[in-house]
Amino acid sequence: MFQTVTPVEFSTVGRKLAGPSGIRELMEDMGRAMTVEPQMRMLGGGNPAAVPALQALIRERMQELLADGDAFERMMVNYDPPPGNPRFLRSLAALLQREYGWDIGPQNLAITSGGQNAFFHLFNLLAGRFENGRRKKILLPVAPEYIGYADQGIEPDLFLACRPTIEWPAGRAGKVFKYAIDFPAVEAALACGDIGAIAASRPTNPSGNVLTDAEVSHLSALAAAQGIPLILDSAYGPPFPGVMFAPAQPFWAPHTILVLSLSKLGLPGTRTAIVIAPENIAQAVGAITAITGLANGTIGQQLVLPWIESGKILELGPKILQPFYTEKSRAAAGWVREYFDAAGVDWALHVNEGAFFHWLWLKNINLTTRELYERLKARKVLTVPGEYFFFGLETDWPHRHECLRLNFSRESEAVREGYQIIAEEAAKAQR
């Protein structure tokens, strides 16, 4: 017979971390779709595709490690130092110095267990409660922004977001739009004096927007003038993995924090991200790793080490990933035009400049995309509703209830069927 156990009381921080969140719902839905509900059309989540040419390289590299007994034993048996494997850090710093002229060394790098882990460290280092009762926030210059940031603050109200301007590229018949930074709004937010860092993903998750080189330079100058870091999340972007369809130069400066990841390269299971930062911040990230996890996983670092040393890792995006995902994006965009026009839906897509997502704007629906998400889930189509991506805004914005993030990297037939079902449900909700 089971005994009734009184639930243990959690701390304030414990309740926050263990409570409901958009990223938890997203990952639980994705996990079920990838395991116990294979019939689900998985257009949610950020899982990369199994790109055949890249998977072949990963298998080949794994076989090399297995054949080298000493290397395999070191990878599996030994702890690395908390900031990461010394040879990996030296090799990556040397590559970035050689290719881009960045004035960095191993002391500027730290490995974390994935990008999500990196941003938890960084956001709580740079924002929240400070001495003398001061509080600082992370400024997001473009909303919508990555769902995974939203609940990472130990302190409440960690983010302040700015609404973008919306541009309509010529010749696109009002069906393709692009977000751009509203710099007067960003400058007004910085003038309040309570910003600890500026942060943006590039390409932006969820919209696939790539901040231009000019926008990044402008943000960098604003951050430098305030004496705060500019954080660039390059999980999909340059210098690797480089899932990019628009030109963009890799960027780093002495006050910049650049976060790279092996996940979107095709290795999400290794949980490996790289923080490139001013030395005191990189060392702080390593110190937090020692407390929270002793050290980081070794497998991802060892898998790509030869590609780092040779520079091959910089070729994988342009040669393998870009062509693969470009074709995926074009095919899915064609299905949007086919099915949504046929259904009479008033739609627009954000221009896809990088990453794995279409950001779909349904302009005249009579329900929120959170409600539409539930209808689609009942029809075995998983998406991510737009509401989750607009955290940090000081006022509501109707646009946030009209957008869906769609992952087009899955099997073509599942994506095609999913887009067709979305068009059918959107048509039912058309005003």
Secondary structure class of 271 (helix, strand, coil): coil
- Note the helical H segments in 259-368: 279-293, 299-310, 313-316, 322-343
- What is the reported pLDDT for 86? 95
- Note the helical H segments in 78-182: 86-100, 115-126
d(CA 370, CA 362): 12
Range of the domain at 150: 78-313
Percent of the chain with pLDDT over 90: 79
Structural domain contains residue 263: yes
Angle, CA of 206, 40 and 417, to the nearest 5°:
75
- What is the reported pLDDT for 30? 62
Domain boundary among 313, 338, 353: 313
Task: Please give the DSSP secondary-structure letter assigned to residue 108.
Answer: G
d(CA 123, CA 198): 10
Q: How confident is the model at residue 7 (pLDDT cuts 50, 70, 90)?
A: confident
Secondary structure class of 16 (helix, strand, coil): helix
Over residues 35-52, mean pLDDT: 82
Over residues 265-290, mean pLDDT: 95
- What is the reported pLDDT for 78? 85
- Per the structure, the count of domains in the chain is 2
321/395 same-domain check: yes
213/120 same-domain check: yes
Domain boundary among 313, 332, 360: 313
- What is the reported pLDDT for 217? 97
Query: Is pLDDT of 1 > 70?
Result: no
Please state which of the ranges 99-113, 170-184, 215-229, 270-284 shows the lowest mean pLDDT: 170-184
Of 271, 269, 264, which is closest to residue 320 (Cα–Cα)?
264
Over residues 236-256, mean pLDDT: 95
Bond preceding residue 398 cis, omega within 30 of 0: no
Residue-wise pLDDT tens digits, 186-240: 999 999 889 999 999 999 999 999 999 999 999 999 999 999 999 999 999 999 9
Q: What are phi and psi of 256, to 5 degrees?
A: -95, 145
Q: How confident is the model at residue 340 (pLDDT cuts 50, 70, 90)?
A: very high
As given in the structure block, the two tokens for residue 36 are 């116990």
294/424 same-domain check: no
Secondary structure class of 197 (helix, strand, coil): strand
Over residues 412-429, mean pLDDT: 95
Query: Is pLDDT of 55 > 90?
Result: yes
Mean pLDDT over all residues of the chain? Answer: 92
Number of other CB atoms surrounding residue 207 within 10 Å: 31
- What is the reported pLDDT for 34? 58
Domain boundary among 258, 292, 313: 313
- What is the reported pLDDT for 11? 74
- What is the reported pLDDT for 173? 66
Residue-wise pLDDT tens digits, 285-329: 999 999 998 889 899 999 999 999 999 999 999 999 999 999 999
d(CA 276, CA 293): 20
142/106 same-domain check: yes
Q: Pick 212 or 71 by higher pLDDT.
A: 212
Q: What is the CATH number of the domain that holds 49?
A: 3.90.1150.10
Helix (H) or strand (E) holding 275: strand 273-276
324/307 same-domain check: no
**342-347, Cβ contacts within 8 angstroms, sequence gap of 24 or more:** 342/423, 343/423, 343/424, 343/426, 343/427, 344/427, 344/430, 345/423, 345/426, 345/427, 345/430, 346/430, 347/175, 347/426
Q: How confident is the model at residue 71 (pLDDT cuts 50, 70, 90)?
A: confident
Q: What is the CATH number of the domain that holds 305?
A: 3.40.640.10
Identify residue 59 by its one-letter amino acid code: R
Using the structure block, give the residue that is written with the tokens 């997502």: 357
- What is the reported pLDDT for 97? 97
- What is the reported pLDDT for 294? 86
Structural domain contains residue 380: yes
Query: Is pLDDT of 2 > 60?
Result: no
